[in-house]
Chain A
Amino acid sequence: MDGAAGERTGAAHPHRENGGALERFSYDDGIVRMFVGATVVWGIVAMLVGLIVALQLAVPQMLNRTGFGWLSVLVNTEWISFGRLRPLHTNAAIFAFAGNAIFAAIYYSTQRLCKARMFSDLLSRLHFWGWQAIIVSAAVTLPLGISQSKEYAELEWPIDLAIAVVWVGFFGVNFFGTLVRRRERHMYVALWFYIATIVTVAMLHVFNNLTLPMVIAGAIKGDPVSGADIAKSWPVYAGVQDAFMQWWYGHNAVAFFLTTPFLGLMYYFLPKAAEKPVYSYRLSIVHFWSLVFIYIWAGPHHLHYTALPSWASTLGMLFSLMLLMPSWGGMINGLLTLRGAWSKVASDPILKFFVVGITFYGMSTFEGPMLSIKSINALTHYTDWTIAHVHGGALGWNGFMTFGMLYWLAPRLFQTDLWSRKMMAAHFWLGTIGIVLYVLSIYAAGLTQGLMWRAFDESGRLAYPDFVETVTAIVPMYWVRVVGGSLYLTGMIMCGVNIAMTWKRRPRMYDVPVYEAPALSSVYVDPPRPGSRLEANVGLGHKADTFIQGWWHRVWERMPIRFTVWVFIAVAVASLFEIIPTFLIRSNVPTIESVKPYTPLELAGRDIYISEGCYNCHSQMIRPIWSETKRYGEYSKPGEFVYDRPFQWGSRRIGPDLARVGGKQSHDWQVRHLEDPRQLIPQSLMPGYPHLLDQDLKFESIQARVDAMAMLGVPYADAVRAGGAERAARAQAAQIASDLETQGGYPDMAGKKVIALVAYLQRLGTDIHAPATPAVEPSGTAADASGAIEAKEGRP
């Protein structure tokens, strides 16, 4: 295109380039075409899996009706049960669909903004194929139950290593290499957002995924590790700290994987499609820096009312509120760029996608801070409201920005007209109606269930003491979601067809234009610093006024390394302000003497709980809210989780909280319920786990589990550490199996997985009443006991 257009006025402006020799170059659009194809394919897969998990929550209540029994295949099959498939849906939507979309955007726009081909075509290909291999390995391991059970970080350590290599070694090196070799002196705002993305995602990924792999523990201690256990690992953090790290990661994965790269995408493709200048350069500076600095702090808002210390919770809320304007800065800059172009919006589906996408960004970033207000969060947390919130963001913002970009790119990449503009317009309307149906029904579901959980009747009883009543009430809305999701998926498929047909019409040989631009010379004189505009003679005032005119930022924009360092300092400093106190202040997690490590059998059962993805539907965190302690028992204390690696607090209660489920039902009830929940609770949505009653527990793997925990600092007795773990596990299993047989007649279960899981479930939340402390009455003296704990914590 206009390779050297920016340089034409060089002579008139002494601070501009003095012009090196002209260089000829072309852009690598092949890699962009590859990422575009992958975006479409994985988009269809991610949304299809989403539709399946939506159906898995809608159909179970039909299973007991005659004629619908066959649907149990959808609900009760081991490899596609909800707990295993839901992580596949979220990972595919985030890292496969949105991931490939941002790579397409970055590879297309970075080359043009830098007037340079990507640093290395080989690294580009390694990045592409490496990323696709990671996605495929996720699609294989998650259904097999290989999972870290941390949301959006479920992939186990071998895949985590591959992600680090592909992200930093291939993508990062390629991107920064391109910046270094650029022929455009200053970096445009889109590139700033890409820098923030690459640096911060690398930091988040590495520090949230620090784990001890089972093979390493096994190798050191001489324990056998085989099969899927080779991929098994446990986080180096436990309980409260693990929860903090996870939501520092989880929140900022939304920030730096689903927000900053899409803002970069917006800053490039929106003015391109609208053919309008960006509304405000100044606003882009202010909102970029405030966004990257403030976002990092807000993670703890995912953990309000939990055992997280209250200072962290407060930081999470306040920084979320302060984040509203920095987020809206992006929305304002996007929407106001369209001033004077609204007639074009009315006729161009691409701009319509962008406008709706940016509008959803504005709504989600308003809703986020509101949901982070503690008292609002008390109602919405653990309900479907959160699900509606993220889908407003994912379907509206990420989806529609991606679609707008794909339709804008398709004719340019495939060098022919788009196959069908009508189909593109139809996609827009189907997608919009799909989002509206999805979010409205799921908001209603969230609000309904949240209000039912906290409702009391006039005599002070819970109005809906039976959890499943609150589920039955929202199943009709789950069906509306299925309809909305189907419409959105249909639109995605139409997009795929449209892009594929456009690709089919591509020319025999792509035209590869060659551009010319001078290389950056090593000599560059910045424009003179502006003087102060103040008339009064105040030294500091003059300095401040010069500073806020922002000339220094223009200097940074031509220094990618310095710029990157400052971005890293912004995100790292903000992180450390929260991480250091979380790990160092002892009173955050007061010790509870009666809380003891899990027995070897319980530990094995816990790993089954993790593997099946129970955390996807069950929290283990009773908040100090009256309706909640009434329903589930005494609220959870930080000291109860010191041996939980990883923590299992969960984020959504599709089923009831399990923090104190231990001892509430008989072993017989638990086994029957796991075999087929609808035997006992006809309206239950929970998958059946009949395979746990069939499959043998690998007792020989238990020693390695215990040894790994011991290496991480769990105080196991010497006898258990010195090879006694398996024997202890077998003895406990025999006892439980014998009780089970007496209670209800399941014979010979001692060697089965279900016994380990039941052992774990029956332990949950019981230590606080264990004999180490005298038995206490929950409503009478328990208040005093918890009061003593509060006093130790120094809580207000």
Chain B
Amino acid sequence: MSSERRAGERSDRSAPLMEHEYDGIREFDNPTPGWWHALFLSSVVFAIGYTMWYHASPLSASIWDKWRAAEVAEFARIFGEIGDLEPDQATIVKMMGDERMMAVAQGIFQGNCAACHAKDGGGINGVNLTDDAYKNVRELPDIFGVISNGAASGAMPAWQNMISKNERVILAAYVAGLRGTSPAAARPPEGEVIPAWPAE
């Protein structure tokens, strides 16, 4: 290229003009900026370093490792002291009184159940959970059963593959606790009126 420079012709910033010209368009022979080279080179160096760190060194954790660590930590945080829960009457009653567990269960309810039962349990196209009438529940463990296995030809889906057992137990307790609350818009009662939940 240098031989093409026109020695005498200098531009405003003293860069030499290339000799060629296309449809009136000329080009300067300015060098590529130094910072451009520096940044380009450092992006290449970073790429090599990152690959070695992320894929070849034991110091990095993959996104799947991180996810598993989060899951283990979360399970330990919520259920660490309690251990495995069984869906029996005593456990469910106990959970109904556990404020912290009911807060966790509320989150599960909002995320999975509210689409059909409404956020406050008043029911949309799923049944009203706040009244005293129940279709498939006679005692507390039945709630766990309905959540796990579904009911009414799939109108109530089965959740046992999607929600862990511990979570279904506290969810059953949360649903039991909705009874007697007053929702904003309540679906009419369905099923039979059953006796109040046992206190113990």
Please list the residues of chain A having a beta carbon within 8 angstroms of any beta carbon in chain B. Answer: 1-2, 5-6, 109, 112-113, 115, 184, 186, 188-189, 268, 271-272, 277-284, 286, 290, 305, 310-311, 314, 317-319, 321-322, 324-326, 328-329, 332, 336, 339-340, 374, 457, 459-462, 465-466, 527-528, 530, 549-551, 554, 623-626, 629-631, 633, 635, 660, 663-669, 672, 680-681, 739, 742-744, 766, 769, 775-780, 783, 786-787, 790, 795-796
Query: If the complex has contacts A325-B36, A625-B67, are A739 and B111 also in contact, measured as CB distance less than 8 A?
Result: no
Residue of chain A at shortest CB distance from B51: A314
The residue on A at minimum CB distance from B57 is A796
Which residues from A are CB-within-8-Å of B66?
624
A292 to chain B, nearest CB (A): 15
With a CB–CB cut-off of 8 A, which chain B residues contact A340?
A: 12
Q: Are B162 and A277 in contact (CB under 8 A)?
A: no
The contact sample of 8 A-B pairs, CB cut-off 8 A, is A6-B20, A188-B22, A322-B47, A325-B40, A460-B77, A550-B1, A663-B158, A666-B155
Chain B proximity of A463: nearest CB distance (Å): 9
Q: Closest approach, in angstroms, between the C-beta of A272 and any C-beta of chain B?
A: 7
For residue B160, give the distance in angstroms from its CB to the closest CB of chain A: 7
Contact residue among A272, A321, A326, A629 (Cβ-Cβ distance under 8 Å from B24):
A272
Partner of B157, one of A6, A466, A663, A796: A663
How many whole Å from B101's CB to the nearest CB in chain A?
A: 9
Check if B43 sits within 8 Å of A310, measured CB to CB: no
Closest to B6 in A: A9
Q: Contacts A113-B22, A271-B25; is A796 near B107 (CB within 8 Å)?
A: no
Instruction: Say yes or no: A188 contacts B153, CB within 8 Å.
Output: no
Given contacts A466-B111, A665-B116, A796-B62, 12 further A-B contacts (CB under 8 A): A113-B22, A188-B23, A281-B27, A286-B32, A340-B12, A460-B74, A460-B104, A554-B4, A664-B115, A669-B126, A743-B154, A778-B162
A627 CB → nearest B CB, Å: 9
**Min C-beta distance of B166 to chain A, whole Å:** 7
Given A2-B24, A461-B106, A743-B153; A530-B162 close (CB under 8 Å): no
| A277-B28 contact in complex given A290-B40, A465-B107, A663-B158, C-beta closer than 8 Å | yes
| B-chain residues with CB within 8 Å of residue A668 when the two chains form the complex | 125, 155
**Complex Cα distance A63/B20, Å?**
64
Q: Is B94 an interface residue (CB 8 A)?
A: no
Q: Are A790 and B28 in contact (CB under 8 A)?
A: no
Among residues of A, the one whose C-beta sits closest to the C-beta of B69 is A626
A-B contacts at CB below 8 angstroms, number: 240
A281-B27, A666-B116 given; A326·B125 CB < 8 A: no
For B48, the closest partner residue in chain A by CB is A318
Give every chain B residue within 8 A of A459 (Cβ-Cβ): 100, 103-104, 107
Minimum CB distance partner of A459 in chain B: B103
User: Which residues of the other chain, A, contact B153 by a CB distance below 8 angstroms?
Assistant: 739, 742-743
Nearest chain B residue, comparing its CB with the CB of A310: B62
Q: Among A324, A549, A660, A665, which residue has its beta carbon within 8 angstroms of that of B2?
A: A549
Q: Is B179's beta carbon under 8 Å from chain A?
A: no
For B162, give its contact among A374, A457, A528, A633 (CB under 8 Å): A633
Contact indicator per residue, chain B 27-69, by CB within 8 Å of chain A (1) or not (0): 1111111001001100110110011001100001111111110
Residue numbers in A under 8 Å from B44 (CB-CB): 322
Task: Assess whether B172 is interfacial by the CB under 8 Å rule.
Answer: no
Is B152 within 8 A of A743, CB to CB?
yes
Across-interface contacts of A742 in B (CB, < 8 A): 152-153, 155
A744 x B40 contact (CB < 8 A): no
- Tell me the bound Cα distance from A198 to B156 in angstroms: 56
In Å, the complex CA distance between A631 and B152 comes to: 26
User: Which B residues are in CB contact (< 8 Å) with A286?
Assistant: 32
Say yes or no: B103 contacts A112, CB within 8 Å. Answer: no
Q: Which residues of B contact A (CB under 8 A)?
A: 1-4, 11-13, 15, 17-18, 20-33, 36, 39-40, 43-44, 46-47, 50-51, 54-55, 60-68, 70-72, 74-75, 77-78, 100, 103-104, 106-108, 110-112, 114-116, 119, 124-126, 152-158, 160-167
What distance in Å separates the Cβ of B68 from its nearest Cβ neighbour in chain A?
Answer: 6
- Asked if residues B4 and A527 are in contact (CB atoms below 8 Å), the reply is yes
Task: Say how far A102's CB is from chain B's closest CB, in angstroms.
Answer: 18
Bound CA span A665–B24, Å: 68
- CB-CB < 8 A to A623: which residues of B? 63
Q: How far is the CA of A5 from the CA of B70 in the complex (A)?
A: 71
Q: What are the 7 tightest A-B residue pairs by CB atom distance, in nearest-first order?
A: A461-B107, A779-B164, A769-B161, A325-B40, A277-B26, A465-B110, A743-B155
Q: Is the CB of A466 within 8 A of B110?
A: yes
Q: Quick one: which of B24, B26, B161 contacts A775, CB cutoff 8 A?
A: B161
Complexed CA–CA distance, A280 and B125 (Å): 68
What residue in chain B is nearest A191 (Cβ atoms)? B22
Cβ distance B1 to chain A, nearest Cβ, rounded Å: 5
Q: Closest B-chain residue to A776, C-beta based?
A: B161
| Contact across chains for A664 and B162 when beta carbons are under 8 A apart | yes
B168 CB, min distance to chain A CBs, angstroms: 9
A775/B36 contact (C-beta < 8 A), A113-B23, A462-B111, A625-B67 known = no
Residues of A within 8 A of B40 (CB): 290, 322, 325-326
Question: Are A631 and B3 in contact, with the CB atoms below 8 A?
Answer: no
Task: State whether B165 touches A527 (Cβ < 8 A).
Answer: no
Chain A: CB-nearest residue to B4: A527
CB of A277 within 8 A of CB of B11, answer yes
Query: B125 to A796, Cβ gap below 8 A?
Result: no
Q: Is the CB of A278 within 8 A of B27?
A: yes
The listed residue (A336, A530, A624) touching B3 by CB distance below 8 A is A530
A189 and B26 CA atoms in complex are apart in Å by 11
A775 — which chain B residues lie within 8 A by C-beta? Answer: 160-161
Whether the pair B78, A460 counts as a contact (CB closer than 8 A) is yes
A669: B residues at CB distance < 8 A:
115-116, 125-126
For A13, the closest partner residue in chain B by CB is B19
CB nearest neighbor in A for B11: A277
Contacts of A625 in B (CB 8 A): 63, 67
Check A624–B162 contact: CB distance below 8 A: no
Most chain B Cβ neighbours within 10 Å, of A5, A113, A660, A777 = A777
Find out whether the CB atom of A790 lies under 8 angstroms from the CB atom of B64: yes
